[in-house]
Chain A
Amino acid sequence: SQKIEQNSEALNIQEGKTATLTCNYTNYSPAYLQWYRQDPGRGPVFLLLIRENEKEKRKERLKVTFDTTLKQSLFHITASQPADSATYLCALFGASKIIFGSGTRLSIRP
């Protein structure tokens, strides 16, 4: 069955460092992959989209990579700040399904 895993349930890093979150999937061939941010008591908010034929996408301090051979996406936040603390979700878009990972709770300590 289709499965999507975000390797770390929680990640705690020092302010200023680069945070790297991982999204792995099996039995799926997504056309797109997206990353969302979710704050407590709120709905997920879209951050970045990457297509299956793209290797890397950047937006300000955010970078996403997509390796369809490894079936993996990495999400990086450079120069992390306490305000980046949130849960980050990856989502796979296929022909007819949108599946979300369970999320990684990121905490940036000052």
Chain B
Amino acid sequence: DAGVIQSPRHEVTEMGQEVTLRCKPISGHDYLFWYRQTMMRGLELLIYFNNNVPIDDSGMPEDRFSAKMPNASFSTLKIQPSEPRDSAVYFCASSSRTAGSPLHFGNGTRLTVT
């Protein structure tokens, strides 16, 4: 199994531009999570999906952030317009439906907004 695949690995963009982060979860996993990691705030849950349906998006910082999961093998996190304070590492993770199942993380997208 290739694990959770995220792209791009690095993204540098200018303030005001749209940014799209991509994630391919592990096949057969029912849950998909988007996290953001910074030195100041650690690992924060932004949103998670169950069977492609968003369940809890209370961690999404503001309307500039949106996430979609059009099918079981693909999800996107979009920031429009981007701001310097969005600079962070964004992780996607997936897990099976079994209670307490471990999260399998991708290697993240390092976003820098100048």
Contacts and interface: CB of A to CB of B under 8 A. Distances in A.
Contacts of A93: 99-100
B12 to A, nearest CB: 16
A41 B89 CA distance: 9
Contacts of A89: 43
B91 interface: yes
Contacts of B4: 43
B68 interface: no
Nearest to A47: B102
Q: Which interface class (under 10, 10 to 19, 20 to 34, 35 or more) fits B?
A: 20 to 34
A10 interface: no
Contacts of A102: 42-43
Contacts of B49: none
A44 B43 contact: yes
B45 A31 contact: no
Q: Which interface class (under 10, 10 to 19, 20 to 34, 35 or more) fits A?
A: 20 to 34
A49 interface: yes
A44 B91 CA distance: 9
B102 A43 contact: no
Contact of B108 (A43, A96, A98): A43
A100 B100 contact: no
A32 to B, nearest CB: 4
A46 B102 contact: yes
B102 A34 contact: yes
A98 B107 CA distance: 19
B78 interface: no
B93 interface: yes
